[in-house]
Amino acid sequence: MLGTLSASRSAMCSVARLLHRPATTMSMALTSSALHQKQIARGLHTSRLLLSKEETQDSEAAKEKQARRLKRMAKEGKLLDWEDFFALRRERRLWERVASIPCAVIGLSAGAAVFATLPIDPQQMFFGFDPLIVFGAATLGCMVLGYGVGPSIGRAWYRVMSPAMERALRAKETEFFKHVKANRSDPSLSSMGNPLPDFYGEKINSLEGYRKWLRKQREHERKGTFKLGQKKR
């Protein structure tokens, strides 16, 4: 009897071990597969970082090469082509926008320093408003004024830092404005529903932008001429 029980127990243990082995093997396989997938993901992430770094370095090198070429052309007094002109124009506009930020901060700080020291009488009204509201609006007005003055300061700073490029840009800009004036639609055709788009061509930043500007001018002229013909009838 005891021998039969011990034999059955050993048989059950061997069966349990046999059943446990596939599960253990499967779990080990899943673990190794997960580790392999993590290694692949890390490798892909590293390769993407390296590619992005190489692309950034290539773009920076191309920008530096273009900047050196533009400086050389400006020093030699050569006339810029249109792509170089728009590139320099975008660079100068970037200087103007960057200069607007510190100018706005200076205006806000100056306005706050001035209006914070003024005595405030709560019973005295300014233009029918509370003095705090008036002083706060005046402080924000100083910030807006500084932001508006910023582009002029940025352009002046660009002229000081890159005089040769500024001269080349001005020479090409004169020719650009001649093209704008010659291809601009007639302002007399404008109306509330048909305003003249970008009168001075300030939004043109590339050759593609210039082509879009031309299409808008022709569209404005077509709409204005059509409405004028309807009025004459």
pTM of the shown model: 0.59
**Backbone φ/ψ region at 88: left (φ over 0), alpha (ψ -120 to 50), beta:** alpha
- Using CA atoms, how far residue 75 sits from 120, 157, 159, 162, 185, in Å, is 58, 19, 14, 10, 36
Contact (Cβ atoms closer than 8 angstroms) between residue 207 and residue 86: yes
Which pLDDT score is estimated for 15? 44
Amino acid, single-letter form, for residue 100: S
Which pLDDT score is estimated for 120? 75
From first to last of its 233 residues, the chain has per-residue pLDDT tens of: 444 545 555 555 554 454 444 445 545 555 666 666 767 767 666 767 666 665 655 566 656 665 666 666 555 556 688 998 999 899 999 999 999 999 999 999 999 998 888 887 767 777 777 878 888 889 999 999 999 999 999 999 998 988 888 888 888 999 999 999 999 998 888 888 888 888 989 899 999 999 999 999 999 999 888 765 555 44
**Percentage helix, strand, coil, to 5, in the chain?**
80, 0, 15
| Residue whose pair of structure tokens reads 């059943």 in the numeric block | 19
Which pLDDT score is estimated for 5? 44
Residues 6+ apart with CB under 8 A from 227: 189, 191, 194
